[in-house]
Structure 1
Amino acid sequence: MSVTQQSDARSAGSFARAGWSVSRVGFGAWAIGGTWGHVEEADAKAALHAALDAGVDFIDTADVYGDGRSERIIAEVLEARGGERPIVATKLGRRLDPHVAEGYNAANMEAFVDRSLANLRTDRLDLVQLHCPPQAVLYDPEVFGALDDLKAKGKIAQYGVSVEKVEEGLKAIEWPGVVSVQVIYNLFRQRPADLLLPRAADKGVGIIVRVPLASGLLTGKMTRTTSFEADDHRSFNRAGEAFDVGETFAGVPYETGLEAVEALRPLVPENATMAQFALRWILMERSVATVIPGAKNADQAVANAEAAALPALSDEVMEAARDVYDRLIAPHVHQRW
């Protein structure tokens, strides 16, 4: 990464096609919905309040996170706060059973939008994302025409696509109505920077980075003996049993991830946590509009937001991080996603 690519993490992230500027650290609301172990509702609300108090103004959720629990918690917090609302992005499609391309039709998508409107207690959704759809969906003009119709009806303000693979993101940004692409990008998943991120920036498409901490591996707190609750995807999806394996530990074998974390640990700046370092590394890429780490409590939410204030990482640190990726991680993930 060259110096010209480095970015002030505290500057606003851009969704140029949508005309939005947002905080470069957002709030990922998957964990407060489900499949990350139990989170008390009071803790979930405290995490959201803390993030918003810290200046976060972008929240990402989905209709399947806790079967709507995440959306409903967000609605309750925003109603309690009043005042100016952050941008709330949600997703649709994963309620389909089976999850097939044919299910992404106008009737189903409008029904999903109506359900999210009710959960979020709003008249219009800020951003609706296709939720890692089958690849054929990205080639179907009827799907994007239906999304345009939902905009015309006033039910959604903007739409985007959440993808698993770089190639899917490259296809998504060709649709003129797509204002955002959500993708996994972190110290363990560096391939998007090669082509997708700069091309999205050229087209004014905002990049939303999910799984920034590789399901917690990049917090530096996990060990070989760390255990996870039965309803935590880090327990039941390690081989992709429930959904794409790349969503769990960024697709990196757990033991390999632990080895790479130890190799990265000396690069963490003084007075920063490894998680903050991992977030700051992502924000060095100026094409990233916002990164959406999850938080199960207020302390985690504040620490995540504070990562944006860290000084820029040096070229030497960036090169060393890339070396760890090339040596230990890339053989497992680089060509898969």
Structure 2
Amino acid sequence: MNYRRLGKTGLNVSEISLGTWQVGGKWGSGFDDVLAERIINEAIDAGINFIDTADVYEAGASEAAVGRIIRSRSEEVYLATKCGRQLSPHTNENYTVKALRKFVEDSLKNTGLDCLDLIQLHCPPVEVYYRPEIFELFDRLKDEGKIKNLGISVEKIEDALKGIEFPNVTTVQIIFNMFRQRPSELFFEQTRKKDVGVIVRVPLASGLLTGRFSSKSTFGKDDHRFFNRDGAGFDKGETFSGVPYEIGLQAVDELKQLFPEYENLAPIALRWILDFPEVGCIIPGASKAEQLHSNVKATGLPPLTQEQTNAVNSIYERYIKSHVHQLW
């Protein structure tokens, strides 16, 4: 495993880390503690030292599993969690200092930890970024020893650029992959200037970039890849990175021709992301241990050649860009 400095947090984190949205089973299938513990333990065995979760993942079961395993291990493993999405309705008005403080304290109880390495605002409404009192709260929580760092998780680059104007925002979690390339423009430039750590989520476009789906693939009714393609549940950019499914399949077919030696494209898709030095870590999910080990392979691959990179960019320009580039 290779490690990178995560911006001004100063943490050296595994470049392939672990996201836990579906760690206890497939999306919509319920949470399996035994499976979750196996995946998380095997991740740590593989050298992963940064695990991302959220208070809304399986109503806190994911947080509890991650915290329980971190406490049981001798290695130093960093826990990142998120808060805000429990608010219903999820509106600017409901973002209050009192509510967010309670969420942080609940996460501490849920994980069993004395201090959270990183707490992230979970894709808040854009108006929240114009309220200094919200960000000042996390300075107080840091002074109280309850958190070490504040980050933000965002849907849109515009939100990220506004959020990092606050000096206590140390990281941004954002969607970035072969099918969502816009962050590599102005956003990465600004993270370099401000020493903000970049955490990449949805790196495989909800599995689309593994190359294992087809027009005949089916998904369970509670799987967001079934019900959220048009944004029925939340931002559609979280599902297949916002790329229309059939268009994505066409682009993936060309990627398969470009990398014929890879039956599973996941390692090469992750390697493409790692070729950007601004990226601190990637947090692909895993619903089984085999997926975890496939993801970790990326850390041992050589960078893509310039010819390969140019070809990937050409596929993006021809198939994907018009559908996603200016939306997020």
User: What TM-score bracket applies, with the shorter chain setting the length?
Assistant: over 0.9
Letter in 2 for 1:180: T
Residues 244-282 of structure 1: CA deviation (Å, up to 9, x unaligned): 000000000110111110011122273673000100000
1:37-116 to 2 correspondences below 5 Å: 37-38=28-29, 40-80=32-72, 82-116=73-107
CA contact (8 A) 1:34 1:66 kept: no
Match of 2:224 among 229, 233, 241: 233
**Structure 1 counterpart of 2:172:** 181
**Structure 2 counterpart of 1:315:** 306
> What is the DSSP-based 3-state SS (H/G/I as helix, E as strand, rest coil) of the residue aligned with 1:129?
strand
Cα shift at 1:34:
7.0
Cα shift at 1:201:
1.9
**Structure 2 counterpart of 1:170:** 161
CA contact (8 A) 1:49 1:298 kept: no
Letter in 2 for 1:84: E
Aligned-partner Cα distance in 2 for 1:16–1:220: 32
Match of 1:191 among 182, 189, 192: 182
**Structure 2 counterpart of 1:26:** 17
Aligned-partner Cα distance in 2 for 1:272–1:226: 17
> What is the DSSP-based 3-state SS (H/G/I as helix, E as strand, rest coil) of the residue aligned with 2:292?
helix
CA 1:54–1:34: 2 relative to 1, 3 Å: closer
Aligned-partner Cα distance in 2 for 1:260–1:40: 34
Cα shift at 1:292:
0.4
Aligned-partner Cα distance in 2 for 1:224–1:269: 20
Aligned-partner Cα distance in 1 for 2:191–2:248: 29
- Greater Cα offset, 248-257 or 100-109: 100-109
Cα shift at 1:148:
1.0
**Structure 2 counterpart of 1:119:** 110
Letter in 1 for 2:34: A
**Structure 1 counterpart of 2:285:** 294
CA contact (8 A) 1:105 1:146 kept: no
Aligned-partner Cα distance in 2 for 1:124–1:211: 27
Gaps of 5+ in 2: none
- Greater Cα offset, 221-230 or 184-193: 221-230
**Structure 2 counterpart of 1:7:** none
Gaps of 5+ in 1: 1-9
**Structure 2 counterpart of 1:270:** 261
> What is the DSSP-based 3-state SS (H/G/I as helix, E as strand, rest coil) of the residue aligned with 2:42?
helix
Aligned-partner Cα distance in 2 for 1:270–1:311: 14
Aligned-partner Cα distance in 2 for 1:161–1:319: 31
Letter in 1 for 2:215: R
CA 1:205–1:272: 2 relative to 1, 3 Å: farther
Cα shift at 1:243:
0.6
Pairing 1:259–2:240 present: no
**Structure 1 counterpart of 2:296:** 305
For the aligned residue pairs, the C-alpha RMSD in angstroms reads: 1.5
Aligned-partner Cα distance in 2 for 1:34–1:145: 37
Residues 102-136 of structure 1: CA deviation (Å, up to 9, x unaligned): 22211101110111111111011110000000001
- TM-score (normalised: structure 2): 0.96
**Structure 2 counterpart of 1:4:** none
**Structure 1 counterpart of 2:192:** 201
- Greater Cα offset, 102-111 or 276-285: 102-111
CA contact (8 A) 2:25 2:287 kept: no
Runs ≥4 in structure 1, deviation > 4 angstroms? none
**Structure 2 counterpart of 1:5:** none
> What is the DSSP-based 3-state SS (H/G/I as helix, E as strand, rest coil) of the residue aligned with 1:319?
helix
Higher RCO (C-alpha under 8 Å, 6+ residues apart): 1
> What is the DSSP-based 3-state SS (H/G/I as helix, E as strand, rest coil) of the residue aligned with 2:110?
helix
CA 1:141–1:35: 2 relative to 1, 3 Å: farther
Cα shift at 1:302:
1.5
